[in-house]
Every structure is written in C-alpha cells, then in structure tokens.
C-alpha cells in the first residue's frame, strides 16, 4: 500500500512540475515594428500624431498585440480634444478584401498638450492569406471644431505588408472555458436543484439504511449490557 501511494504521489508531483516547467505563452508582450508617425490636424489649431507598434510577421491562430499611440502635440489652452472611436480594418489581397474588426469607443478627452492616449488590442491573423495590412481609422473632434472628423493611417505604413506565418503546429483543440460567472452560477443553481430532486430516491434509501444501521447498533449495545 505504501509503495503504491508513493508512486501515485510521484506521478502527481511530476505532473505538477511538468506544468510548471512547460513554457507558457505570454500574451501581453509588447515588441515589434514601429510604424512611421502620422500627423493629423483638427481644424487649424489642434494637432496630433499617431503611430502603431506590432510585429511584422503574425503566426496563424496566435494572438498578436497591436498598440496604438496617439500624442496630442498642439492644443490651444482652454479647449480640448476627444477621441470618439478607433476602428481597425484588415486589407487582404484576395476576396473578401476587407475584414472589419470590432470598433472600440474609448471616449477619451484630452485637455492638455503633450498627452498620450494608448490603445492596446489583440488580434489574430486572417486565415488563407499570406500577407495583409491594417487600416486604422480614428474619429476625433475638438471643442473648437465639434464635428467629427475621420483620420486614417496604415500599419505598417512604409512597408507593404504584414506577413502571415502558417506554422505547421496549428492548435486543433480549442477548449472553451466555463461560461462567465453571471451565467454560470445561475445555471449551477438550477443544476443542483435538479440533481437534488432527481436523486431523492437514492438519498431516501441512504437515509433509511443509515437509520437502520444506527438502530441495529443500539440494539447490539443493549444486548451487551
């Protein structure tokens, strides 16, 4: 018995150690190519620059981080500038030519010059293409020009394309996690209620058996006395 227990514990230990030693892919790393800085102007008095940072070769089925930096360079005193929305679009050489990614609405208001707005996004490379680029659309306005204005920039700007690396080891299994807690605890509650109701017969028998055993034990004790 002792031997088998030690073997089991050895297995458990190796399993734990192996999970620790296997390198875990870190998603949040921030290295890559920096695109040339684009200069934009709202009205005549508000200037800002924007550039994006992301790797130039994206692996298929892996998450890639793209960070957009917006620097407000000139802002008249007393006025402000707000970024209404940021949207990203893949441009592909083959149909469907464009893929729209979800738009984010940061609604950031900048009141002083030389402030920086950072937008971090994770993307996946489009499948079935070897190269593509990204168009970033910034919608912004300022207090002196309250109408929304659209500005566009490209990533990777001066180079033509981002390369897509098709690694041979594609993940085949995609394990979904549990639903987020809002859904999950509600469902688990329903599940346990159903489980309790459906196993009532079994619990009844268990209850009766335990009761009988107790009674028998009492009887035995009385006899001994």
Give the footprint of another protein on this chain (CB under 8 A): 171-180, 182-183, 186-187, 190-191, 194-195, 197-202, 204-206, 208
To the nearest whole angstrom, how small is the minimum distance from the Cβ of residue 27 to another protein? 16
To the nearest whole angstrom, how small is the minimum distance from the Cβ of residue 204 to another protein? 6
To the nearest whole angstrom, how small is the minimum distance from the Cβ of residue 127 to another protein? 10
Structure tokens at 211: 């009761």
To the nearest whole angstrom, how small is the minimum distance from the Cβ of residue 124 to another protein? 11
In this complex, which beta carbon is closest to another protein, that of residue 39 or of residue 185?
Answer: 185
Rounded Cα distance between 42 and 150, Å, is: 10
Distances (CA, A) of 153 to 5, 84, 135: 63, 16, 6
In this complex, which beta carbon is closest to another protein, that of residue 1 or of residue 202?
Answer: 202
To the nearest whole angstrom, how small is the minimum distance from the Cβ of residue 190 to another protein? 5
3-state secondary structure of 83: strand
In this complex, which beta carbon is closest to another protein, that of residue 20 or of residue 198?
Answer: 198
Q: Where are the alpha helices (DSSP H) in the chain?
A: 2-21, 181-198, 200-224
In this complex, which beta carbon is closest to another protein, that of residue 1 or of residue 200?
Answer: 200
Q: How far is CA 133 from the centre of its chain?
A: 22
In this complex, which beta carbon is closest to another protein, that of residue 148 or of residue 186?
Answer: 186
Distances (CA, A) of 209 to 126, 214, 221: 62, 9, 18
To the nearest whole angstrom, how small is the minimum distance from the Cβ of residue 215 to another protein? 14
In this complex, which beta carbon is closest to another protein, that of residue 36 or of residue 171?
Answer: 171
Is the torsion defined by CA of 125, 128, 133, 136 positive or negative?
negative
The 10 Å CB-count burial string (b at 16+, else e) for 1-27 is eeeeeeeeeeeeeeeeeeeeeeeeeee
């Amino acid at each position: 018995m002792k031997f088998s227990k030690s073997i089991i514990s050895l297995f458990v230990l190796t399993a734990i150690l192996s999970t620790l030693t296997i390198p875990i892919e870190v998603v949040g790393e921030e290295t890559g190519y920096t695109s040339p800085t684009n200069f934009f102007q709202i009205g005549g008095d508000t200037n800002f620059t924007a550039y994006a940072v992301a790797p130039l070769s994206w692996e298929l089925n892996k998450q890639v981080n793209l960070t957009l930096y917006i620097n407000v360079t000139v802002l008249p005193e007393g006025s402000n500038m707000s970024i209404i929305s940021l949207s990203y679009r893949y441009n592909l050489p083959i149909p469907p030519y464009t893929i729209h990614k979800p738009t984010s609405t940061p609604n950031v208001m900048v009141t002083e010059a030389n402030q920086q707005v950072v937008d971090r996004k994770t993307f996946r490379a489009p499948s079935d293409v070897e190269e593509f680029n990204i168009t970033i659309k910034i919608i912004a306005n300022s207090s002196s020009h309250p109408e929304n204005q659209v500005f566009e920039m490209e990533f990777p700007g001066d180079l033509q394309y981002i390369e897509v690396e098709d690694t041979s080891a594609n993940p085949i299994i995609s394990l979904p996690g549990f639903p987020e807690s809002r859904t999950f605890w509600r469902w688990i509650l329903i599940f346990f209620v159903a489980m309790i109701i459906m196993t009532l017969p079994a619990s009844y028998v268990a209850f009766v058996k335990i009761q009988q055993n107790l009674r028998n034990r009492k009887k035995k004790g009385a006899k001994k006395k």
